[in-house]
Amino acid sequence: MAEQSVAIELDEVTKRYPGQREPAVDGFTMSINPGEITIFVGPSGCGKTTTMRMINRLIEPTSGRITIGGEDTLSLNPDDLRRRVGYAIQQAGLFPHLTVAQNVGVVPGLLNWSKAKTTERVDEMLALVGLDPGEFAGRYPRQLSGGQQQRVGVARALAADPPVLLMDEPFGAVDPITRGNLQDELMRLQAELRKTIVFVTHDFNEAVKLGDRIAVLGDRSTILQYDTPEAILANPADDTVAGFVGAGASLKQLTLMRVRDVEMAQAVTATDDESPATVRQRLEAEGRRYALILDARRRPLRWVHFRQLSGSSMAGIGRPVGDQVSIQSTLQDALEAMLTEGGDAVVTGSRGEYVGTVQLDTVVTKIRELREEHAS
């Protein structure tokens, strides 16, 4: 049943409403990559939702062409088209008179799946979005929290395994903590499913977090910039985009990069069995002031300043290493560790062993490089 990822092409798509001089969407042309999350982000009323709703023909385009996986959507029956395109919206839009299982099973039902196959699929979907089928299948939407309703909404959208998923501010109506969890969940799902997802939001931070590509839209759904989050953050196309990106673009950049993406430095390391004099010699040879003490399994223990190396034993001297980061951590986490530690951030590998340090200079240089790279 799993279909391959499909691309979506929009070609000169225009929507005019009768009695309005300006079109709501004006000549929108865009290629949406298969298997990626593409975010439409823009201010309220810019036409981003209208544009998305033309993809599954909830709104019929006045002119232009939309193809999904090469197939012209206008050549299909709109109801058949929509059964093949997942759709999740703000407030979830669950059917209040149906149980969770019945809600998720609606599209398989419309596609005439057998009862057994539908039941199996419903359980699979609920488990996929992190809801225990045994506990939730028989509940009604009003017995769920906002976040749970949203999960059911996503499960319903994915039930018939559509290659394309349209999401219209799906996490707009839940509290910030739940929203963060749902975003993480979506990224986890997407890593597994590789759907072609079009996601509408007005929250730029959400766009940066979730998007493989972001389309920043202005009035009448004009594309102000369509690029990767890194590129938009590093080099906003114009003042409007810059305004939308908002303050702290460089800090947002840091959330997109991992420690493994930058060059690590090596600290002078030592163990507790060594004599302070030897360690002191090594520090002087390297021209450093601090040494990092590791345990027998090379896990970082303490930072020791060379002035502390005057006694006869290493035991008990120095300052314990507090915050450390892993090579998977974001550069933002690394920066946070630097600020709390007041120096280089210690990086550990998968078993907690020391692998290197990240220095403030490295982070600064990386940001500068990114800006230069995207400036062309």
* Options 11, 60, 72, 80; binder of other proteins; rule CB under 8 A: 80
Q: Which of 153, 236, 300, 356 binds other proteins (CB under 8 A)?
A: 153
Q: Provide, rounded to whole angstroms, the least separation between the CB of residue 213 and other proteins.
A: 23
Least CB distance to other proteins at residue 219 (A): 24
SS3 153: helix
Q: Which residues between 94 and 113 bind other proteins (CB under 8 A)?
A: 94-99, 106-107, 110
The Cα–Cα gap between 12 and 200 comes to 20
Residue 144: CB minimum distance to other proteins, A = 11
149 part of the interface to other proteins, by CB under 8 A: no
Cβ distance to other proteins smaller for residue 126 or 270 = 126
CA separation for the pair 170, 214 (Å, rounded): 17
Question: Out of 19, 70, 112, 142, which residue is the one contacting other proteins (CB under 8 A)?
Answer: 142
Sole binder of other proteins in the list 15, 156, 213, 280 (CB under 8 A):
156
- Between residues 21 and 97, which has the closer beta carbon with respect to other proteins? 97
- For the chain, report the end-to-end CA distance as a whole number of angstroms: 43
Alpha-carbon gap, residue 231 to 223, rounded angstroms: 15
Contact 221, 26 (CB under 8 A): yes
Among residues 91, 181, 190, 330, the one that binds other proteins under rule CB under 8 A: 91
CA distance 141 to 362: 50
**Measured distance CA(159)–CA(126) in Å, rounded:** 9
83 vs 366, which CB is nearer to other proteins?
Answer: 83
- 58 near other proteins, judged by CB under 8 A: yes
Q: Which residues contact 159 (CB under 8 A, 6 or more apart)?
A: 104, 105, 106, 107, 108, 121, 122, 125
**For other proteins, the closer CB: 96 or 342:** 96
Window of 21-29, 114-122, 134-142, 349-357 that interacts with other proteins by CB under 8 A: 134-142
* Rg value, the chain, Cα: 26
Beta strands 164-168 and 196-201, pairing class: parallel
Task: Catalog residues that contact other proteins under the rule CB under 8 A.
Answer: 56, 58, 79-84, 86-87, 89-99, 106-107, 110, 140-142, 153, 156-157, 166
